[in-house]
């Protein structure tokens, strides 16, 4: 039996308190306001005073509104029917489809027993050379895309969603601009990937509390698919908005802030989401790619900083390209030794040359004379940026490697590359 209370004691921001008994921690309630129904979640109980965060926000909530406790936690329906659908942070449909209520699963469940995980060792192809060739994405990896606002991170995510070798894509949007939401919807349906995608979308104008639900909803669904032997790719954008929502709620509830206003448990909160990335020892996997915008391009800002300590490397999106220097996939060693035998050597050589190119550019800008070698490097850098780094380039790993050799051959002699001679003998283009 659901208990109904219609006396709200206080309303502060998105948090209301109600006098009630027998309420469970984290339980959901439904509140009927003059603007319609909204969910609310219990986040503190002190004797008979129960605090709830209202998903739709505190605006317009009246002290006389009716609060009905539902007796269960936040849940999400799980079945194949989810594929192709779009939901909001409360789990209600955002498309015209029906609401789903079968097979409800709790969100934010317990973490995986480390002894049931296996070592990440499968490559996830994306056909983006800067990822596949230079910082390979590995199944079950968790990687953020560090970016400044204004960079095309959502375009990058959409491309990865279309091209990645994953059985299921779960897209979680937090604080998304409405046009970005439309962009994702259009790209995925044009690319034919909508049928393997589930979207949980919170747009910038939606209530803050719903934003906090998005990662848990997305990851709970992903986990269920993974347990059905599927390789799931979860794309989250943007985790900084998620952290900011947590900050907002924490401050509203008068918690002591730790660093730049963020709550003290920011690390644990982010970690419990990212750690959902897993390769089960006899089932599917969850891989997480999450955009983290860096306010002011400052990597020491609490959100990117804490994220860096949690994730297994990062992609650094700068100037419309995935930067080869700031980016790092910590797990790439696990896979790039068994792709093609020239992969590692070519990757190292090309990055080394590119770093020499950067030095040459500096020299050139300072007005020093260019040697013949410098001229070669300049040409190399240009070709590299044009044929491999550009975000619109779409090549399989093998094609990227071949392109890499082609670029080297157009600029250098074999012995100038510093690559072992048995590899240059085999792979150097003939023309």
Spatial contact of 272 and 246, defined as CB atoms under 8 Å apart: no
The stretch near other proteins (CB under 8 A) out of 23-31, 55-63, 228-236, 373-381 is: 23-31
Q: Pick one of 105, 155, 272, 399: the residue that binds other proteins (CB under 8 A).
A: 272
CB of 178 to other proteins, least distance (A): 32
- Angle (CA) 188 193 197, round 5°: 90
The reply on whether position 265 binds other proteins by CB under 8 A is: yes
| Stretch near other proteins under the rule CB under 8 A, chosen from 44-52, 89-97, 233-241, 374-382 | 44-52
Q: CA 263 to CA 247: how far, in whole Å? A: 6
Distance CA(166)–CA(61), nearest Å, equals 43
Residue 302 interacts with other proteins (CB under 8 A): yes or no: yes
Closest separation in Å from C-beta 121 to other proteins = 10
CB of 150 to other proteins, least distance (A): 23
Q: Is 363 helix (H, G, I), strand (E, B) or coil?
A: helix
Contact range with other proteins by CB under 8 A, out of 86-94, 255-263, 389-397, 402-410: 255-263
Q: Say which residues have a Cβ less than 8 Å from residue 203's Cβ, sequence separation at least 6.
A: 173, 175, 176, 177, 178, 181
CB hemisphere CA count around 1 (13 angstroms): 4
Cα separation, 29 vs 3, in Å, equals: 10
Least separation in angstroms between CB 24 and other proteins: 5
Instruction: Give the residue with the Cβ less far from other proteins, 194 or 239.
Output: 239
Site for other proteins in 303-362 (CB under 8 A): 305-306, 308-310, 312-313, 325, 328, 330-331
Element (H, E) at 357: helix 343-365
Token pair 């800008």 is found at 365
Q: Binding to other proteins by residue 23, rule CB under 8 A?
A: yes
Report DSSP letters for 274-306, one per residue: HTT-EEBTTS-EEEEEEEEE-GGG-TTSHHHHH
Choose, by CB under 8 A, the member of 116, 338, 340, 341 that binds other proteins.
116
Residue 271 binds other proteins, judged by CB under 8 A? yes
To other proteins, the closest distance from the beta carbon of 274 in angstroms equals 8
Under 8 Å between Cβ of 212 and 252: no
CB of 309 to other proteins, least distance (A): 5
CB 16 within 8 Å of CB 5: no
Q: Interface with other proteins includes 392 (CB under 8 A)? A: no
Residue 157 near residue 237 (C-beta atoms within 8 A):
yes
Residues 64, 98, 114, 192: which binds other proteins (CB under 8 A)? 114
Q: Is 110 in the site for other proteins (CB under 8 A)?
A: yes
Residues that bind other proteins (CB under 8 A): 21-27, 44-48, 73, 109-120, 140, 227, 255-259, 263-265, 267-268, 271-272, 274-276, 278, 280, 283, 300, 302, 305-306, 308-310, 312-313, 325, 328, 330-331
């Amino acid at each position: 039996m659901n208990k109904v209370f219609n006396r709200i004691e206080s309303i502060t921001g998105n948090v209301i308190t109600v006098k009630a008994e027998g309420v469970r921690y984290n339980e959901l309630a439904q509140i009927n306001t003059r603007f319609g129904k909204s969910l609310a979640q219990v986040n503190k109980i002190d004797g008979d005073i129960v605090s709830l965060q209202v998903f739709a926000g505190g605006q317009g909530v009246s002290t006389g509104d009716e609060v009905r406790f539902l007796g269960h936690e936040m849940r999400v329906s799980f079945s194949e029917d989810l594929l192709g659908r779009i939901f909001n942070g409360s789990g209600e449909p955002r498309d015209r489809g029906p609401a789903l209520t079968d097979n409800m699963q709790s969100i934010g469940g317990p973490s995986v027993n480390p002894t049931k995980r296996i070592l990440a060792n499968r490559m996830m192809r994306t056909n983006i050379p800067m990822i596949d060739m230079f910082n390979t994405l590995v199944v079950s990896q968790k990687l953020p895309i560090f970016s400044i606002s204004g960079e095309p991170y959502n375009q990058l995510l959409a491309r990865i969603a279309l091209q990645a070798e994953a059985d299921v894509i779960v897209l979680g949007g937090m604080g998304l601009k409405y046009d970005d939401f439309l962009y994702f919807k259009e790209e995925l349906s044009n690319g034919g990937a909508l049928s393997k995608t589930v979207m949980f979308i919170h747009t910038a104008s939606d209530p803050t509390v719903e934003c906090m639900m998005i990662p848990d909803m997305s990851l709970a669904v992903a986990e269920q698919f993974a347990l059905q032997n599927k390789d799931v790719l979860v794309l989250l954008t943007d985790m900084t908005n998620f952290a900011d929502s947590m900050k907002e709620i924490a401050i509203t509830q008068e918690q002591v802030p730790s660093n730049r206003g963020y709550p003290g448990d920011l690390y644990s909160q982010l970690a419990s989401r990212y750690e959902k990335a897993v390769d089960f020892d006899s089932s599917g996997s969850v891989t997480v790619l999450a955009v983290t915008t860096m306010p002011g391009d400052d990597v020491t800002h609490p959100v990117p900083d804490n994220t860096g300590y949690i994730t297994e490397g990062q992609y650094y999106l700068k100037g419309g390209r995935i930067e080869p220097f700031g980016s790092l996939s910590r797990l790439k060693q696990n896979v790039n030794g068994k792709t093609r035998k020239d992969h590692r050597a070519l990757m190292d050589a090309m990055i080394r040359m590119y770093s020499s190119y950067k030095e040459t550019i500096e020299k050139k800008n300072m007005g020093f004379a260019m040697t013949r070698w410098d001229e070669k490097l300049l040409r190399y850098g240009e070709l590299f940026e044009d044929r491999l780094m550009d975000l619109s380039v779409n090549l399989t790993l093998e094609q990227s490697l071949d392109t890499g050799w082609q670029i080297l051959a157009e600029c250098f002699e074999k012995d100038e590359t510093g690559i072992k001679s048995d590899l240059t003998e085999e792979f150097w283009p003939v023309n």
